[in-house]
Amino acid sequence: MASEQVSTLPCLWLRGLLPADMCMSSPIPPPVQHDVVTLFDPFGVTPDALEWPPGLYGTDASGGKWGSYPELRRCGCGVASMTGFSSPFTLQWAARFPLPGTHQSVPRAELYAIYMLVSRVKYGVLKIVSDSLVNVDMYHKGKHAALKSVNNDLWKSIFAHVDATNITLQIYWVPGHLDTKVPKSRVRVEDVFFALNYCADKFADAAALEAQLDMNPVSSVLFNSSLVKKI
């Protein structure tokens, strides 16, 4: 009976009927619960790390190496700005940071990157380029719709900050990964938009790599997942 019960644990875990840690030889460490921001600022753009200037930015997010496993997913976020509006561009400034909290999804991380940027700009026109169509569309649907969405807590903070400051917020969509993929639609993409998205994506990848779990809990999840596939 005992061996039969043990053999069913991975299946019940993946069906959401048991906590994942019951099947783990090593407990899964929780995601970070607070902001951990690393800046790339070679030109001294942000002498105050908590206040970022207005302007044009790219934002992006990554689910990391184990993004297809919800228990292992640790998302990273990236923000970048460039000098100039025509090629060649120079990376002027960037930031990377993990997505805090237990809700680890790429759409939330993409929105968190937008939130972090908005929350640290205090005035002026802020233009954001994002390849997250779901979040760009939600912003353009307006505050009422956004506050009823899944990540309404982040949207609430975004709109509250905009309302409390002199920010003019504009968000644009750009197809992602244009360096490796041909866009499905014949949308014209500004060169600077592509450059911003590309750089933000690289910093998001770096943040996800820093947040990535070590192989002890990862190997347990992979092993139990392989057992489920054999059932």
Tens digit of pLDDT for each residue in 154-163?
999 999 999 9
Q: What is the mean pLDDT of residues 108-120?
A: 98
Mean pLDDT of 117-141: 97
Structure confidence at residue 28 (pLDDT): 86
Is the pLDDT at 27 greater than 90? The verdict is: no
Rg (CA), the chain: 20
Alpha carbons 231 and 15: distance in angstroms, whole number: 13
Does the pLDDT at position 16 exceed 60?
Answer: no
- Which of 13-27, 105-119, 159-173 is predicted with the least confidence, judged by mean pLDDT? 13-27
In this prediction, residues 102-121 reach a mean pLDDT of: 98
Tell me what the pLDDT averaged over the chain comes to.
86
Tokens of 212: 């990535």
**Which domains are present in the chain?**
1-29+214-231 (no CATH), 37-212 (3.30.420.10)
Q: Please tell me the predicted confidence (pLDDT) of residue 205.
A: 97
Residue 7 predicted with pLDDT over 60 = no
Identify the band that residue 23 occupies on the pLDDT scale cut at 50, 70 and 90.
low
Examine residue 30 and say whether the peptide bond preceding it is cis (omega within 30 degrees of 0).
no
Q: Looking at residue 90, what is its pLDDT?
A: 93
**Window from 23-27, 54-58, 144-148, 186-190 with minimum mean pLDDT:** 23-27
The percentage of the chain sitting over the pLDDT mark of 70, rounded to a whole number, equals 80
Q: pLDDT tier at 63 (50, 70, 90 boundaries)?
A: very high
